[in-house]
């Protein structure tokens, strides 16, 4: 693959990581009732090329804990071999730890993608419009245990034998995969001179294999680093700045 394609993949993975990581911190029992906003800088090739801003509002609705999540990304980069522009907005609603609705709108170098998903009865249904072409994807809820938006490796029990196998609804690919997790070790990760406790977890599925450095700071679960390999190639994403408002 060429450098432009690899650059797109790395940035897009980083955007997904931020959104997945922030949703991980709003599982029942972790988040407080109220609204939290978090800002991230997007870094590539040593340059700050954009910003990701998220907000999450936790409330009790009908006796259940409901999370309304929004993630906005604005990335623009110009290097010798390419120009890259990515604007996106991602939203999700989680009720009692289960993904109820999901949406994503993107404009990547002039190409438009829109995804609308929601739980309907006993299925999760995606409606996708990509460059004017529409398609539907229907996933039975009985076919998966968790979703990528819930980032289960942040809180799952990996203490018995250090391994777990989970059926995951991957919202990026809109398909269910069997994902295998393995606890590598407990570690620390440093950002701006401060060390954060984290766990290092490997996972793999048919789309990708990754190693993640993930931990909890106050009420937030944070993904500090990810080294991975997918069909498009290998990449490494590392947190270099963390802004919490």
Strand residues in the chain grouped as ranges (E): 34-44, 47-61, 64-79, 82-95, 98-108, 111-120, 123-130, 133-140, 146-147, 163-170, 175-191, 194-204, 208-217, 220-230, 233-238, 243-244
pLDDT in 10s for each residue of the chain, 245 residues: 444 444 555 455 544 544 444 444 444 444 445 566 666 666 666 666 777 776 777 788 888 888 888 888 777 767 656 677 878 898 999 888 789 999 999 888 878 899 999 999 999 999 999 988 999 999 999 999 999 887 788 778 887 789 999 999 998 899 999 999 999 999 998 888 889 899 999 999 998 888 999 877 665 667 778 777 655 445 666 777 665 65
User: Which pLDDT score is estimated for 57?
Assistant: 76
Q: How far is CA 6 from the centre of its chain?
A: 18
Q: What are the pLDDT digits (tens) for 181-201? A: 999 999 998 888 889 899 999
Count how many domains the chain has: 1
Helix (H) or strand (E) holding 6: helix 3-24
Range of the domain at 226: 3-244
Instruction: Give yes or no for a contact between 189 and 225, defined as CB atoms under 8 angstroms apart.
Output: yes
User: Which pLDDT score is estimated for 183?
Assistant: 95
Q: What are the pLDDT digits (tens) for 58-83? A: 788 888 888 888 888 777 767 656 67
User: Which pLDDT score is estimated for 214?
Assistant: 86
User: Residue 142 phi/psi, 5° resolution?
Assistant: -70, -10
Q: What's the CA gap between 153 and 233, in Å, rounded?
A: 23
User: Which pLDDT score is estimated for 180?
Assistant: 95
Residues 6+ apart with CB under 8 A from 28: 65, 96, 97
**DSSP-based three-state secondary structure for 29:** coil
User: Which pLDDT score is estimated for 81?
Assistant: 60
Sign of CA dihedral 218, 224, 229, 233: positive
Picking from 185, 121, 117, the residue whose alpha carbon sits closest to that of residue 147 is: 117
Instruction: State the residue for tokens 């190409």.
Output: 111
User: Which pLDDT score is estimated for 151?
Assistant: 78
User: Which pLDDT score is estimated for 227?
Assistant: 79
User: Which pLDDT score is estimated for 38?
Assistant: 63
User: Which pLDDT score is estimated for 165?
Assistant: 94
Q: What's the CA gap between 207 and 229, in Å, rounded?
A: 9
User: Which pLDDT score is estimated for 166?
Assistant: 95
User: Which pLDDT score is estimated for 22?
Assistant: 43
- CB atoms near residue 25 (< 10 Å): 22
Instruction: State the residue for tokens 């999450």.
Output: 56
Q: What's the CA gap between 59 and 57, in Å, rounded?
A: 7
């Amino acid at each position: 693959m060429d450098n432009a394609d690899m650059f797109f993949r790395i940035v897009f993975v980083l955007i997904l990581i931020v959104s997945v990581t922030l949703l991980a911190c709003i599982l029942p029992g972790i988040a407080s009732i109220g609204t939290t906003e978090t800002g991230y800088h997007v870094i590539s090739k040593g340059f700050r090329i954009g910003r990701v801003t998220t907000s999450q509002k936790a409330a009790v609705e009908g006796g259940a804990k409901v999370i309304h999540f929004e993630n906005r990304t604005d990335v623009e980069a110009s290097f010798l071999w390419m120009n890259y522009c990515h604007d996106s907005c991602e939203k999700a609603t989680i009720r009692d730890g289960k993904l109820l609705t999901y949406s994503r709108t993107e404009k990547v170098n002039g190409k438009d993608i829109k995804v609308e998903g929601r739980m309907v009865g006993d299925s999760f249904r995606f409606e996708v419009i990509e460059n004017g072409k529409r398609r539907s994807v229907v996933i039975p809820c009985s076919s998966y245990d968790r979703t990528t938006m819930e980032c289960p490796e942040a809180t799952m029990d990996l203490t018995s034998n250090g391994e777990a196998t989970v059926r995951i609804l991957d919202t990026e690919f809109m398909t269910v995969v069997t994902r295998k997790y393995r606890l590598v070790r407990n570690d620390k990760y440093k950002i701006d001179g401060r060390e954060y406790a984290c766990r290092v977890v490997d996972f793999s599925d048919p789309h990708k294999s990754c190693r993640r450095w993930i931990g909890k700071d106050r009420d937030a679960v944070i993904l500090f680093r990810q080294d991975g390999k997918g069909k498009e190639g290998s990449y490494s994403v590392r947190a270099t700045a963390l802004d919490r408002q």
